Chains A and B, each alone.
Chain A
Amino acid sequence: MSRVFAIASNTFRESIRDKILLSLAVLGFLLIAASKVFVPISIGQQAKVIKDFGVGLIEIFSLLIVVLIGTRILYQEIERKTIYSIISKPVTELDFVLGKFLGLYYLIIVIQLILFSIFILFMKFYLGTIDWFLLNALYFYLFEFLLLDAVAVFLSCFTTPITAGILTLLVFFVGQLSHYLKDLVVVTGVSELSVLVNFLYFALPNFSVFNVKANVVYHLPISVNSYFLAFSYSILYTLILLIISSLLYSLKEYQ
């Protein structure tokens, strides 16, 4: 296990020192600055808009991290041949994949904690009160991005970063809409669609189980079931993806 943590913290350190993170941070600040411009437009609704916007921004920022960094962390090791000095040491493919996955997850956790802290300060100064109920979103995000991290790692086992990035985005957005897919068949009445839709529904991760944005913004109650579902669904799906990824890796050669 010490090997997994060694690889994880090295991956974390690499992405921290990577310039892409810096450019993402700049992007984040630009977005926050932009929010200042149009927040005053909706008077009365101001508090709701800020909360909605903040929670959404944190999600998009985390998504960008996974898509831009997560899809590169494995590929880079092969591309830059640094993997030669890993695999020739007593490190299994599972160690390697788990380490890379965890390294990205460290980054996601740190980023989320920072963004939520900034968000809390933002509320304090702009709205005068802190809406602690919003922190429920953090719980769901941590499991949502655990799963998305695994999706990115899995996809990058057999594609280039760009392809893996696009596919990760697709999986994320289709996965958000996954429960609408079934309605689509009923509404359109095109039965040929149902095979495809059923496949997508069951094969793709269902990210809507993590979607509590409306609840946290409008203070709608969140059932105990939702907490449990988000946790167990994410862990189970992640484990399956990581095991398949490490099997794919054990077939790999480093030419």
Chain B
Amino acid sequence: MSNLWQEDCRGLEMKVIEIKNLVKIYASPFMRKKSIGLNGLNMEVEEGEIFGLLGPNGAGKTTALKIITHLLKPSGGSVTLFGGVGSLEARKRMGFLPENPTFYRHLTGMELLQFYSRLYGKNPTRKELEEKLKVVGLKDSQDRRISGYSKGMLQRIGLIQTLIGDPDLLVLDEPLSGLDPVGRREMKDLIRKVNMEGKTVLFSSHILSDVEAICNRVGIIVDGKMKKVGHIGEILKSEIRYIDIEFEGMEEIDWLNEYGDLKKEGKVIYLRTKDTEKKDKVLKEISRRGGRIISVVPQRQSLEEHFIRTLNE
């Protein structure tokens, strides 16, 4: 009974974004060559998740996000937002952080947020906005002109500006680019935090470790097409792992060469084997020959390696 109920629930779970066969061709009378931005992209983002759109430069990430946020018009295919609401309603319910964002240079941080609030018909007090600026550490810069903001400050006020309309969905184009390590960590924490508050997040990146660190699901996009989608664990599980065996107290090791790569550092020997099935046999043999096992660590393939492999396919 309860199982059935759960089945029903899963069926009803709303797709915040549903993209089918999306095509974007950049063409203008002044361009001699057409250039393909998206070439039949399929993807779905579910309510409440952090979805990472991962792909190398020129893969079509920005193009996809700009179509979702109504800045570009698709050449083919369809984008359904929040189950099919109209364009204005969809824009009311999402916030967008563009790639390398720029804002009005003549405004101060505070004035910028006041301006954007009015676009949603809101009129928050200075105090309320101050709270928001405090979250990203911009409280002290609130009365400085945007023209004096650093790249990192622009990213941070950019994120706050996406939250002004209290949206259900955040669309962030490379939100971590241009930030220093501390800034990156803070931004990741912020993204996680707003997600915990119930907002769905779609963000793009060409940097794997970022995606690995905060996403529930990842889509790998290459040449305007989705190459692979899944939970990070799932994507990696299906791949061959290797095992690092660390041991010591053995002189004669040449016989191990056929099982994998050997490395010797002082007395300690490392064996990296892809032959997971023969692992037990190797371990037994090492012990039999007087070796002492220090550690056995199964290495999952990193997303990076997986990513590079996907690109080469």
Contact = CB atoms under 8 A, between A and B. Distances in A.
Contacts of A253: 71-73
B263 interface: no
Given A3-B121, A253-B73, A255-B26, A82 B102 contact: yes
Interface residues of B, number: 32
B118 interface: yes
Interface in B47-80: 66, 69-73
Contacts of A255: 26, 72
Contacts of A88: 69-71, 91, 94-96, 98, 171
A91 B73 CA distance: 16
| Interface hub of A14, A80, A88, A91 (most chain B Cβ within 10 A) | A88
5 contacts: A14-B106, A85-B96, A89-B165, A90-B89, A254-B71
B119 A86 contact: yes
A86 B88 CA distance: 12
Interface in B161-178: 161, 165, 171
A81 B97 CA distance: 12
Interface string A225-255: 0000000000000000000000000000111
A89 B104 contact: no
Nearest to A89: B119
A85 B89 CA distance: 16
Given A3-B118, A82-B104, A91-B91, 19 more contacts: A7-B119, A10-B104, A13-B107, A14-B106, A17-B106, A82-B102, A84-B98, A85-B158, A86-B119, A87-B69, A88-B71, A88-B91, A89-B116, A89-B165, A90-B89, A90-B92, A90-B119, A254-B71, A255-B72
B71 A85 contact: no
A84 B96 contact: yes
Contacts, number: 75
Interface in A181-223: none
B161 to A, nearest CB: 6
A215 B53 CA distance: 68
Nearest to B65: A88
Contact of B88 (A14, A17, A90): A90
A92 interface: yes
A85 B66 contact: no
A6 interface: yes
Interface string A114-126: 0000000000000
A28 B116 CA distance: 35
B120 A90 contact: yes
A86 B66 CA distance: 13
B101 interface: yes
B190 to A, nearest CB: 18
A254 B119 contact: no
| Interface hub of A81, A85, A91 (most chain B Cβ within 10 A) | A85
B106 A81 contact: no
Interface of B: 26, 66, 69-73, 88-89, 91-92, 94-96, 98, 101-107, 115-116, 118-121, 158, 161, 165, 171
A90 B122 CA distance: 12
A108 B13 CA distance: 53
Contact of B98 (A7, A81, A92): A81
Given A87-B71, A88-B71, A90-B91, A81 B119 contact: no
When A and B form their complex, which 6 residue pairs have the shortest distance between CB atoms, in order from nearest? A6-B118, A88-B96, A88-B69, A17-B106, A90-B92, A84-B98
Interface string A1-40: 0110111001001100110000000000000000000000
Contacts of B71: 84, 87-88, 253-254
A178 B16 CA distance: 56
| Interface hub of B88, B104, B106 (most chain A Cβ within 10 A) | B104
Given A14-B104, A254-B66, A89 B72 contact: no
A88 B91 CA distance: 6
Contacts of A89: 91, 116, 119-120, 165
| Interface hub of A6, A82, A87, A89 (most chain B Cβ within 10 A) | A89
A116 B154 CA distance: 42
Contacts of A85: 96, 98, 101, 103, 116, 158, 161
B62 to A, nearest CB: 10
Nearest to B63: A255
Contact of A18 (B91, B106, B118, B165): B106
A17 B145 CA distance: 11
Contacts of B118: 2-3, 5-6
Nearest to A16: B106
Interface string A66-90: 0000000000000011101111111
Contacts of B88: 90, 92
Contact of B102 (A3, A17, A80, A254): A80
A18 B104 CA distance: 12
A17 B107 CA distance: 9
A5 B105 CA distance: 19
Nearest to B118: A6
Contacts of B120: 89-90
